Amino acid sequence: MSINRGRLRWQCRRAFLELDLVFARFLERDFDRLTDGQLADLEDLLRCEDHELWAMVNGSEPCGNDRWKEMIGLLRQQ
Amino acid sequence: MNVAKRTFDAVIVGAGGAGLRAALQLSESGLKTAVLTKVFPTRSHTVAAQGGVAASLGNTTEDNWHWHMYDTVKGSDWLGDQDAIEFMCRKANEVVVELEHYGMPFDRTDNGKIYQRPFGGHSQNYGQAPVSRSCAAADRTGHAMLHALYQRNVRANTQFFVEWMALDLIRDADGDVLGVTAIEMETGEVCIFHAKATIFATGGAGRIFHSSTNAFINTGDGLGMAARAGIPLEDMEFWQFHPTGVFGAGVLITEGVRGEGGILRNASGERFMERYAPNLKDLASRDVVSRSMVTEINEGRGCGPDKDHVLLDITHLSPETIMKRLPGIREISIQFAGVDPIKAPIPVVPTAHYQMGGIPTNYKGQVVAPKDGNPNAPISGFYAAGECACASVHGANRLGTNSLLDLLVFGKSAGESVVEDFQSGDLSLKPLPADAADVSLARLARLEGQKNGESVFEVGLEMRRTMQKHAGVFRFDNLLKEGVARIKEVAERSRRTEIKDKSKVWNTARTEALELDNLIEVAKATMVSAEARKESRGAHVRDDSPDTAEFPNGRKDNEWLKHTLWYSEGNRLDYKPVTMKPLSQDVEPIALAKRTY
C-alpha cells in the first residue's frame, strides 16, 4: 500500500519550533519530489522522539540509522 | 445531515501535560474517558518545557509554600487570584511526588531526594534570598513528564483519538456544555463527542505573533472554540516575551549569550543598551532589554531593509569560546538566521513565549463566566486547565517553572472536580440539541464552497505582523488603537479564506484554515483587551503609563486591579474583581506593593 503524503505532511508537525521550521523548509523544497522509497524512510524517521531528531538535525548527535541518513541530510540543508 | 455520535463520560481536548493529568484522574476513577489530540500525545508542546516544575519540597534549601505563594502573587503583579495561587502552591509537593511515583526520572541529590535548583523570581522568606525550588529532569523536564503521564494513561485505559481536531463546543439552550464536534484527519469525517463533562487542555496560542517561540501546533483551538460559543476570554492582554528571538523565526537565543559577552547593536553598530541601562547594559532584566530593542526599532534605528530588528553580536568572542560555550546557539543561528555568529551578528527581535490569560476558571478547574450578578458562575459540564485556562495563577506575569506546576495541579483538579460532580449527580448526559453539529458543518461547507477567497497563509501572515507591530512587548496608545482597527479587518478577511485542495483525506490545508479561525479569535481578544487597559502591569507595558511616584511601575491599582473579560460577539469587554483573599481563613492576603527585584 502506498504511503499517504498528506498524513506524512501532517506528521512533520513536531513538538517544538526548531523542528517545525526545519520541516517547513523541507516540505516546501523537497517533499513533493520524494520517491515512495524515500517516503518510507521519512515515515520511519518521523517515529523518532523530537529531542533525538533535533540532535541529529543540528549535528550534535550522529545519525545512528543508515536508513535515515538521506532524510537527515535534506533536513540539514539550508 | 446525519453526523456520527460517540458517547463518553468525559471528553478531553488536548493531550499535553494538563490533558494527560486530567485524563489520568478520570480514567483511574473508572470514568469512560476520550482524549482528542491533533498530534501523538508525546509530541505535544509540553515537550519544549526545559526549566523544571516548582515545588517547595525544601530538599536543597529551606522552603515552604507560603514563600512560593508570595513569589507567585508578586510575580503576577497582584493580578493573580490569591485563592487559586494558595491552592497551587499548597498542592505542588503532592503532584510532584505523585509524578515521581509514576516514574518521572527527576534529577537526584546525593542522598536520593529530588534535586532542586534556583530559578528567577523564586525566593526564600518573602524575597530575602534565592531558593532552590525547581525540580527538573536534566533539560528535558516537559518531555519526561509527558512520557510518565502517557504511560500511566495507557495503563488506565484512557482512550486516545490521535490526529483528531476538535471543531466547536456544543452548548444547549441552558448554556450547559454537552461535548464537542471533531474532525478525523484521516477520513475528513465529522463526529459528535457527546459527554457529561468536557475538559479543554489545548495549550497556548503563541502563533498569533510573527515572532514566537511556540511550535506550529499552538493555535489556541480551545480559546477559539470557547469564544465562538459565547464564553469570555480572561486577561488576554498579558503575554510573556523573551528579548532575543531569531528574527523571522522566533527561536529563542538564551540569555546565556549575553552572559558570555554578547552585545546588542542597532543599525549604526551602536551598543544601544549603554544608553538605556548604563550599569547592567546588555545584562539588564528581560523587560528592560525588550523595551530598549523595540524603542530602537520604532525610532528608525533598526537593522535590515525594513529596519525591523537589531543585532546580537558575539563576533568579538574567540571562535573557541563560541564553539565551546555556545555550540547550540551557533547551530540555531546558522540554521534559522543563515548567519555564522563567529563571522557576523545574529538578527534578533523580542519573541512571544507564554500566554498568561485564557478561558476563565476557578481553582477547581471549572470554567466560570458572569451570570445573574455572579462574576464567577460555573458553566455546567465545562472545565479547563493548563495554558489555555486562566485560573488565574500567573496574573500579569508568570514565574518560570510555575507553568508545569499549573498544568499538573489544575489538570488534576479539573479531573477531581469532574469525578466529584459525577459522583454527586451534578453531571448527567443531557440530550443533544438537534442542531448540535450545525455550526461546524456550516464552517466546513463555507470553506468547501468559498470562491475568490483569501489565502490562509496571507491572512495568517497579516495577523501575525499586525499583532507583532501593534501589540508587541512594548505598547503605545496610537499603535494599539490602529491595531484594533487592523485586526478587525484581518478578522473579516479570515471569514473568506479559500483552500484549493478540497480532498477529504489528510487535508492539511483545511486543518490550517480551521486553526486560523481559532487564532483570529485570540488575536482580537489580545488587541482589544490591551488597547483598553490604560496602565502598565506585569507583561503589559505601555509607553504612556511609565513608572512615577504616584503610579509605581505605571500600575494603577485604583482603576485597573481587575480582570479583563473579552467576548467575541461585538468585541465586548467586561471586567471582574481580582480575588485578593486566599483560600484558607488562616492565610494572610499578600498586600499590594511595588514589584521590584
- Residue B25 in grid coordinates: 484522574
Nearest to B352 by CA among B297, B408, B286, B296: B286
Q: What is the distance, to the nearest Å, from the Cα of residue A8 to the centroid of all Cα atoms in its chain?
A: 9
**What CA dihedral angle connects B36, B38, B42 and B48, to 10 degrees?**
-130
User: Nearest CA to B32 among B7, B6, B8, B5?
Assistant: B8
- From chain B residues 233-262, the ones with a CB under 8 A of any chain A CB are 249-251
| Residue in A closest to B246 by C-alpha | A18
Could you give the CA distance from residue B461 to residue B60 in angstroms, rounded to a whole number? 47
Nearest to B48 among A15, A24, A78 (CB): A15
- Strand-by-strand arrangement of the B116-124 sheet: B53-54, B129-135, B116-124
Per-residue confidence (pLDDT) for residue B40, from 0 to 100: 96
Q: For residue B171, give Cα distances in angstroms to B31, B177, B179, B220.
A: 22, 4, 8, 19
Q: Does B428 touch chain A (CB under 8 A)?
A: no
Q: How far is CA B280 from CA B127, B259, B468, B539, in A?
A: 21, 11, 27, 21
> Which amino acid does the sequence have at B362?
N
Interface test with B, best of A18, A22, A50, A72 (most B CBs within 10 A): A18
pLDDT at A1: 58
Find the length of chain A. 78
Nearest to A6 among B212, B214, B506 (CB): B506
Determine the Cα–Cα distance for residues B575 and B528; give it in Å rounded to an integer: 13
Strands B190-200 and B177-184: antiparallel
Place of cell 489544575: B410
**Cα-based torsion angle of the residue sequence A21, A24, A26, A30 in order, rounded to the nearest 10 degrees:** -170
Q: Pick from B126, B107, B122, B128: which is nearest to B59 by CA?
A: B107
CA closest to A48 among chain B residues:
B43
Q: Rounded to the nearest 5 degrees, what angle is found at the Cα of A50, between the Cα atoms of A48 and A54?
A: 105
B70-108: string of b/e by CB count within 10 Å (b at 16+)? Answer: bbbbbbbbbbbbbbbbbbbbbbbbebbebbeebebebee
Residue B155 pairs in a beta bridge with none
Mean pLDDT of chain B: 95
| pLDDT-derived band at B260, boundaries 50, 70, 90 | confident
Alpha-carbon distance of B34 to A69, in angstroms, equals 38
pLDDT at B50: 83
- State residue A39's pLDDT score: 96
Contacting residues of B for A5, CB less than 8 Å apart: 506
Q: Rounded CA gap, B347 and B344, in Å?
A: 9
Report the alpha-carbon distance of residue B425 to residue B432 in Å, rounded.
19
Best of B37, B42, B47, B464 to mutate (most A CBs within 10 Å, chain A): B47
Contact B378, B408 (CB under 8 A): no
Of B45, B327, B338, the CB nearest to A15: B45
Positions of E strands within B385-466: 389-390, 454-455
> Is pLDDT above 80 for B581?
yes
Closest CA–CA distance from residue B515 to any residue of chain A (Å): 13
- Cβ separation B47–A50 shorter than 8 A: yes
A interface with B, Cβ–Cβ below 8 Å: 4-7, 9-11, 13-22, 24, 49-51, 58-60, 78
Count of pairs with CB atoms under 8 A, one residue in A, one in B = 82
Average of pLDDT values for B286-295? 90
- As a three-state string, the secondary structure of B493-549 is HHCCEECCCCCCCCCHHHHHHHHHHHHHHHHHHHHHHHHHCCCCECCECECCCCCCC
Which residues of B are identified as catalytic? 286
**Residue B93 belongs to what H/E stretch?**
helix B82-101
B139 → chain A, closest CA residue = A51
Distance in Å, alpha carbon of B554 to nearest chain A alpha carbon: 34
Q: pTM higher than 0.90, yes or no?
A: yes
Strands B177-184 and B116-124: unpaired
- How far B451 CA sits from the closest chain A CA (Å)? 23
Cβ contact A49–B334 (<8 Å): no
Which residues in chain B have Cβ-Cβ distances shorter than 8 Å to A48? none
Q: Which residue has the cell 500500500?
A: A1
Angle at B285 between CA B284 and CA B291, to 5 degrees: 90
B335 touches chain A (CB under 8 A): yes
How many of the other CB atoms lie within 10 Å of CB of B118? 16
Question: What average pLDDT does range B156-181 have in this prediction?
Answer: 97
For A7, which of B215, B338, B506 is closest by C-beta distance? Answer: B506
d(CA B16, CA B37): 9
Confirm or reject contact between B519 and chain A (CB < 8 A).
no
Q: Name the most confidently modeled range: A9-13, B1-5, B126-130, B136-140.
A: A9-13
Nearest to B338 among A6, A13, A78 (CB): A78
**Chain segment B214-232, per-residue pLDDT in tens:** 999 999 999 999 999 999 9
Chain A residues with CB under 8 Å of B140 CB are 51
Residue written as grid cell 523541507: A26
Of the listed ranges B172-176, B263-267, B398-402, the one predicted with least confidence = B398-402
* Residue of B65, B92, B45, B24 whose CA lies nearest to B414: B24
The verdict on whether omega for the bond into residue B392 sits within 30 degrees of 0, i.e. cis, is yes
Structure confidence at residue B1 (pLDDT) = 61
Whether the Cβ atoms of residue B142 and residue B14 lie closer than 8 Å to each other: no
Q: How confident is the model at residue B468 (pLDDT cuts 50, 70, 90)?
A: very high
Q: Is the CB of A49 less than 8 angstroms away from the CB of B249?
A: no
3-state secondary structure chain A: CCCCHHHHHHHCCCCCHHHHHHHHHHHHHCHHHCCHHHHHHHHHHCCCCHHHHHHHHCCCCCCCCHHHHHHHHHHHCC
Report CB contact under 8 Å: A6, B45. Answer: no
Q: pLDDT per residue over B38-88, tens digit each?
A: 999 999 999 998 889 999 999 999 999 999 999 999 999 999 999 999 999
For residue A15, the chain B residues in CB contact (below 8 A) are 39, 42-48, 215, 217
Closest residue in chain B to residue A24, using alpha carbons only: B216
Return the higher-pLDDT residue of B167 and B130: B167
Considering only CB atoms, which chain B residues are within 8 Å of A20? Answer: 215-216
Task: Spell out which residues of chain B touch residue A46, defining contact as CB-CB under 8 Å.
Answer: none
Give the Cβ contact number of residue B468 at 10 Å.
Answer: 21
pLDDT tens-digit profile of B538-553? 999 999 999 999 999 9
Nearest residue in chain A measured CA to CA from B143: A51
CA dist B410 and B19 (Å) reads 10
Residues in A touching B38 (Cβ below 8 Å) = 13
* Residue position matching grid coordinates 534570598: B129
B186 at the A interface (CB within 8 A)?
yes
Per-residue pLDDT of B475-512, as tens digits, reads 999 999 999 999 999 999 999 999 999 999 999 999 99
Q: Is residue B109 less than 8 Å (CB to CB) from chain A? A: no
ipTM attached to this prediction: 0.96
* CB within 8 Å: A22 and B335: yes
